[in-house]
Structure 1
């Protein structure tokens, strides 16, 4: 299996990747094809695909923030069972992030991720791909070391229509598993930069960030 970076919407592998995203994720979670041009060309956004026998069978997007020494996993898709794709993507991603942190003269502090909570919302559809079942994904991410931030979390829809998306938790995987809390300031800075690309922010998101700005620490809870 190959781990290949995508940097252009003209790459034939990107069309296969985008098709896979549409098969798996709800429509409001998938950026329209042409809008991927700038993100793919952004050196700070890292989009990789797992290629098996010429086909895209998995993909992951993430980014590393040098100033805070943290990463964000935008998404991970396992498109086929029985190939060890999830572990392959997680290992390759961590190798890449550890290299980026080392080039920054540091050891990676940790990684954010938004994780679906199927215990609150029962109707998630993931294209019938069993490894993407939200119950399975949540448990796998817990095994990887992700913890839930103590926040009533919402995020802006990627449709950029000002709608608030609920039913997810903002989670963090610390490199030090003993870490029990995060500085609220870190979360605020991260969220503002991460969602700067979406000008239409829902009021619920703005209020959530304002509350975070009044806090010093945010607990990390079991996922």
Structure 2
């Protein structure tokens, strides 16, 4: 299995990855094909695919924020069960992030991720891939060390229509620090404002969530 980075939409593996995403993810979580052109050329956005016999069978997108010394896993995509794609992507992602952080002269304190709440996403088939089921994915994140933030989470739709997307939890995984029970609310607010700055249209509920975070000192980390 090859860990291949995609940096432009002309890469033939990108078309395969985007098609796979359309099979697995709901429309509000997807960016249109052509809108990927600029993000892929951003050196801070790292998009990798797992390739086997010239076929994309998995993918992951993530980024490291040197000013915050925090990373974000945008998505992990497994195209077929039983091939070890998840562990392959997780191991390569962590190794790459540690290298990126070291090259930036910093460290990796933790990583954020969004995860579907099974109670609110039961109607999503996720392309029929069992590993992508919300229940399975939550267990995987829990084993990796993620915990969900005590937060009524909402995020803007990637269709850039100003709609609020519910049904997800926002999670955090401390790196090399055992026993962390809280995250600074100001860090969460700053991160989310930075992360979603690319979306021009955001729902009022998102702004209310950000203001609520700014009024808090810390956000408790709960079991997923």
Shorter chain as normaliser: what TM range? over 0.9
- What secondary structure sits across from 2:126 in the alignment? coil
* SS class of match (1:127): helix
Write the distance in 2 (CA, Å) between the matches of 1:38 and 1:55.
24
Q: Unaligned regions of 5+ residues in structure 2, if any?
A: none
Separation in structure 1 between the aligned mates of residue 35 and residue 104 of structure 2, nearest angstrom:
30
Cross-structure match for 1:26: 26
Alignment of 1:34-183 (within 5 A): 34-175=34-175, 176-183=177-184
Contact 2:147 2:171 in 1 (8 A): yes
Kindly tell me the number of residue pairs found equivalent between the two proteins. Answer: 223
Once the two structures are TM-superposed, the CA of residue 106 in structure 1 deviates from its matched residue by 3.4
Q: Distance in 2 between matches of 1:50 and 1:13?
A: 10
Distance in 1 (CA, whole Å) between partners of 2:37 and 2:104 is 27
For 2:202, the equivalent position in structure 1 comes to 201
Aligned-pair CA distance for 1:178:
1.2
8 Å contact from structure 1 (residues 118, 124) kept in 2: no
- Give the Cα–Cα distance (whole angstroms) in 1 for the partners of residues 126 and 178 of structure 2: 30
Q: Which runs of 5+ in 1 are unaligned?
A: none
TM-score (norm 2): 0.97
CA distance in 2, matches of 1:105, 1:38: 26
With the length of structure 1 as denominator, give the TM-score of the two structures. 0.98
Say whether 1:17 aligns with 2:34. Answer: no
Deviations 1:110-135 (A, max 9, x none): 10000000123321220111111111
Residue 121 of structure 2 contacts residue 134 of structure 2 at CA under 8 Å; is this kept in 1? no
